[in-house]
A and B are shown apart, each in its own frame.
Chain A
Amino acid sequence: MKSIFSKILAKISLPFLAFALAIFSGGILIAFSDRTVLPLIGSPWKFFTAAVHSAGNAYLALFQGSIFDSNLAKNGSFLKGFYPLTESLLIAAPLILAGLSVALAFKAGLFNIGAQGQFIFGAIGASYIGFAYELPPILHVLLALITAMVFSAIWGGFVGLLKAKTGAHEVIVTIMLNYVASFFLLWLLKTKVFLRPRAINPLAPPVHDSAKLPQFLGSDIRLNIGIFLALIAAYFVWWILNRSTWGFRFRAVGANAAAARTAGISVAFVTTAVMSISGALAGLGGAVQTLGSQFELTPDVAGSFGFDAITVALLGRANPVGTVFAAILFGALRAGGLTMQANTQNPVDIVLVIQALIVLFISAPALVKYIFRLKGLKGGASVASKGWNG
């Protein structure tokens, strides 16, 4: 028993310390940009309490916006206080899916920066089926999700195929294709098929009610079955990687492509397959976002999901379970960040800073060890470095 406990502790201590450091650094930024704090620098104690007060208030608002709000609990039942948590999970669902997309590719030695573009294609597919057809409820949702996955699997698989056939580096190709996808979406939304009648800005018609993901906590709470889809996908990725022959091949290619080739594994096939599945996962994220909370296709449907997905996968150390928790954490930061912005005038951008710092600290265990004077902290880069030509 003790060994399991210490194993878990070893696994989570680095992320936890990285999180603490990031929150601390973010707090410094908040305090120092507060115009009421800085003039007190002459008297250290006053300055210190004001700084703690400023950062504390911001983080309290962050907590209230992401997990539990006692004001909501006072008015109704205690459980109602957890409404912010359901909002965090609502944001987390597409983030989990997009994060899994990046994580799976990592395990096969591919750096999928293209989750953004794949997310967009998923959103396009889901939105089109959602508004253009009228179908019975469950069938409609299923068809929309499948279309989204097919679209994005093709878009993602193309990158894998290109890498397999020509050696084009997936990082370069996916960075470029993200822009192509954004412009394609912008153009598509201006075409007759997608432009909502009488709309001035590029905007698709709303999806039919039958295509919306069902909510399961009553009509007041927006959380929907998307979160379960995300958890199922996480299990699926875990199963593929750890229990299937395919996953073994994926990991073999990721660990050492040359050795895998010698062992008779088709690296070209694996690359294409991994990128297709990755694409489908990110596309499913786009579908969950479109059918679960946005309900209409807009030019910035993907927001920063595709890029947050990378930080999520890195924080989750490219492991499905870790990715789920990382996505929930980042979902909470995002939901709370909005409340923080409204209540304390601290812009939501602080969340980006915290996210970036977490990942920076996570990927440099040596630094965290140095700061906390720790020995034997488990960790290290979960992804091996390789060059443009590799």
Chain B
Amino acid sequence: MTQVEVLGLSAPERRRKRGILAMSILSILGLLFFALLPKMNEVTTFGFVMDKEWVFLHEWAVHSKSGSLLFSTISIIAVIGAYLLFRARKTIRIATSIFSISLFMSFLCWAARGKFIPFTGLLQGGLMLSVPLIFGAMAGVVSERSGVINIAIEGQLLFGAFASGVLASLTHQKWLGLLVAPIAGVLVSLLLATFAIKFGIDQVILGFVLNVLVIGITGFLYQRLLVPYQSTWNSGSGLTPIAIPILSKIPLVGPILFEQTIIVYLMYLIVTTINIALFKSKWGLRMRAVGEHPTAAESVGINVNKIRFRNVVLGGAIAGLGGAYFTLGAVGTFSRQMTAGAGFIALAALIFGKWSPMGAVAAALIFGFASNVESVLSIIGTPIPSEFMLMVPYVATVIAVSGIVGRVRAPAADGIPYKRGDSH
């Protein structure tokens, strides 16, 4: 912080410069290892058709080496573009996106040489894996923006999944399952809110313990009731996808975005609402105020803890609904610890996305997509060990919080209990 500024650049500018340096190294490495060095004489085929959408392009077969060379070159041009934009003191986001996409395509040409890649399927699977992450990250946004750390996302997702699966199975009513999922998430978040806000307990510890509690309770009941009495307790079925007319016919993205279950459409609604409300409504302004500077908020008559309490509970409802995606959004049945750490990847997405709704959504999409690419590549066979690809979200988050390239900052009062009269 107090270091002498080099070349008159501010700290964020220096980080951006380091980012461009990292990008240029990556693009050159990409050119070397994906395009120039490997001896490839095969063809990589990308498929673009999924279902009944209007066909624009069936598939695209490209000679692996030329394809890789093409995309590597584009990525290098994008880096040069980014540097020029940086020199002109303009935003480099578009150049960065082009860089990452083309580098990724270059990687695909190399990794899937001689193979067929269902590109639409890749995107669709990526979205499927992202949905719970997006729900979890949104739960994190409303809770943490108001100043309460939410590590219990995992528990809220899991309890939502459990409650919705069990109730839908017991009553044979899927909508009841959908209704109970947010309530289950709220139960977990009520504990979080009560202990964190009323008793002032460390929120990281609390979230952690609540996760253990939910894993324990659902695991116990699963083994005790759901397995032995499966036909009554755990025999639900998944929701049927609803295709939106016309929109679902759009080539490439149509069947991915607009032929989904109601849970995904609710997700679009939640993300849009939060993104607008956080920055444009009274609710959002107050939420950000109590998350950044509770004392100042209190001084203008805002009840800090009441707002925090409500936001934590709302977050629980969102994550709980996201939990229903694991059961009702899939085959309908619950299995032990079926969220498998999604809550923690959602937390990573929240942090990687700088605690902003759209940032978190983008990060969740990237993480979901990365893990789907991993599973597709491990099926068709790839030169990179799948474990390293699975590490991507976690390593990316560590890099993001360490501020080597770019830097993330939490809401200033996030995690600090507020007591009237304390000054922060």
Q: Residues of A at under 8 Å CB distance from B? A: 29, 33, 35, 111, 113, 162, 166-169, 171-173, 175-177, 179-180, 183-184, 186-187, 190, 307, 310-311, 314, 345-347, 349-357, 359-360, 363-364, 366-367, 381, 383-390
Contact B208 A113 (CB under 8 A): yes
Contact A180 B212 (CB under 8 A): no
- Across-interface contacts of B170 in A (CB, < 8 A): none
Q: How far is the CA of A385 from the CA of B403 in the complex (A)?
A: 24
The distance from the CB of A153 to the nearest CB of chain B, in whole angstroms, is: 19
Q: How far is the CA of A346 from the CA of B225 in the complex (A)?
A: 10
- Is B410's beta carbon under 8 Å from chain A? yes
The distance from the CB of B300 to the nearest CB of chain A, in whole angstroms, is: 22
- Is B215's beta carbon under 8 Å from chain A? yes
Contact B216 A360 (CB under 8 A): no
Q: Residues of B at under 8 Å CB distance from A? A: 144, 149, 191, 195, 199-206, 208-210, 212-213, 215-217, 219-225, 229, 341, 344, 347-348, 351, 385, 387-388, 390-391, 394-395, 397-398, 401-404, 409-417
> Could you say which of B391, B402, B410 contacts A179, with CB atoms under 8 Å apart?
B391
- Across-interface contacts of B209 in A (CB, < 8 A): 311, 314, 356, 359-360, 363
Q: A179-B394, A307-B212, A367-B199 are in contact. Are A383 and B149 (CB under 8 A)?
A: no
Q: How far is the CA of A310 from the CA of B212 in the complex (A)?
A: 11
Q: A352-B213, A366-B199, A387-B415 are in contact. Are A187 and B385 (CB under 8 A)?
A: yes
Q: Which residue of B lies closest to A388 (CB)?
A: B410
Q: How far is the CA of A314 from the CA of B387 in the complex (A)?
A: 32
Q: How far is the CA of A2 from the CA of B411 in the complex (A)?
A: 49
Q: How far is the CA of A66 from the CA of B404 in the complex (A)?
A: 49
Contact A345 B202 (CB under 8 A): no
Count, A-B residue pairs, CB within 8 A: 165
Contact A173 B391 (CB under 8 A): no
Q: How far is the CA of A169 from the CA of B200 in the complex (A)?
A: 20
- Across-interface contacts of A355 in B (CB, < 8 A): 212, 216
Q: How far is the CA of A176 from the CA of B349 in the complex (A)?
A: 11
- Across-interface contacts of A364 in B (CB, < 8 A): 195, 199, 201
Q: How far is the CA of A353 from the CA of B210 in the complex (A)?
A: 10
Q: How far is the CA of A113 from the CA of B209 in the complex (A)?
A: 12
Contact A352 B215 (CB under 8 A): yes
Q: How far is the CA of A389 from the CA of B408 in the complex (A)?
A: 10
- Across-interface contacts of A111 in B (CB, < 8 A): 204-205
Q: Which residue of A lies closest to B202 (CB)?
A: A385
Contact B210 A387 (CB under 8 A): no
> Could you say which of A33, A180, A387 contacts B391, with CB atoms under 8 Å apart?
A180
Q: Which residue of B lies closest to A367 (CB)?
A: B199
Contact A389 B397 (CB under 8 A): no
The distance from the CB of B190 to the nearest CB of chain A, in whole angstroms, is: 13
Q: Can you identify 11 A-B contacts, CB atoms within 8 angstroms?
A: A162-B398, A175-B347, A183-B387, A183-B391, A187-B385, A187-B387, A356-B209, A360-B213, A363-B199, A364-B195, A385-B415
Q: How far is the CA of A167 from the CA of B212 in the complex (A)?
A: 28
Q: How far is the CA of A228 from the CA of B402 in the complex (A)?
A: 39
The distance from the CB of B223 to the nearest CB of chain A, in whole angstroms, is: 4
Contact B224 A173 (CB under 8 A): no
- Across-interface contacts of B341 in A (CB, < 8 A): 179
Q: Which residue of B lies closest to A310 (CB)?
A: B208
Q: How far is the CA of A380 from the CA of B26 in the complex (A)?
A: 50
Q: How far is the CA of A387 from the CA of B397 in the complex (A)?
A: 18
Contact B217 A183 (CB under 8 A): no
- Across-interface contacts of B397 in A (CB, < 8 A): 172, 176
Contact B205 A389 (CB under 8 A): no
Q: How far is the CA of A355 from the CA of B216 in the complex (A)?
A: 9
- Across-interface contacts of A162 in B (CB, < 8 A): 398, 402
- Across-interface contacts of A311 in B (CB, < 8 A): 209, 212
Q: How far is the CA of A176 from the CA of B412 in the complex (A)?
A: 22
Contact A347 B224 (CB under 8 A): yes
The distance from the CB of B338 to the nearest CB of chain A, in whole angstroms, is: 14
Q: A184-B387, A387-B412 are in contact. Are A179 and B206 (CB under 8 A)?
A: no
- Across-interface contacts of A352 in B (CB, < 8 A): 212-213, 215-216, 219-220
The distance from the CB of A90 to the nearest CB of chain B, in whole angstroms, is: 22
Contact A387 B410 (CB under 8 A): yes
> Could you say which of A33, A179, A383 contacts B225, with CB atoms under 8 Å apart?
A33
- Across-interface contacts of B403 in A (CB, < 8 A): 166-168
Contact A176 B395 (CB under 8 A): yes
Contact B216 A351 (CB under 8 A): yes
- Across-interface contacts of A363 in B (CB, < 8 A): 195, 199, 201-202, 205-206, 209
Contact A356 B213 (CB under 8 A): yes
The distance from the CB of A68 to the nearest CB of chain B, in whole angstroms, is: 25
- Across-interface contacts of B215 in A (CB, < 8 A): 349, 352
Contact B402 A350 (CB under 8 A): no
- Across-interface contacts of B388 in A (CB, < 8 A): 183, 187
Q: How far is the CA of A261 from the CA of B416 in the complex (A)?
A: 22
Q: How far is the CA of A373 from the CA of B347 in the complex (A)?
A: 38
Q: Which residue of A lies closest to B213 (CB)?
A: A356
Q: Which residue of A lies closest to B409 (CB)?
A: A389
- Across-interface contacts of A187 in B (CB, < 8 A): 385, 387-388
Which of A35, A311, A347 gathers the greatest number of chain B CB atoms within 10 Å?
A347
Q: How far is the CA of A166 from the CA of B410 in the complex (A)?
A: 14
Q: Which residue of B lies closest to A349 (CB)?
A: B219
- Across-interface contacts of B391 in A (CB, < 8 A): 179-180, 183-184
- Across-interface contacts of A388 in B (CB, < 8 A): 144, 149, 410-411, 414-415
Q: How far is the CA of A180 from the CA of B388 in the complex (A)?
A: 8
- Across-interface contacts of A384 in B (CB, < 8 A): 202
Contact B390 A169 (CB under 8 A): no
Contact A353 B216 (CB under 8 A): yes
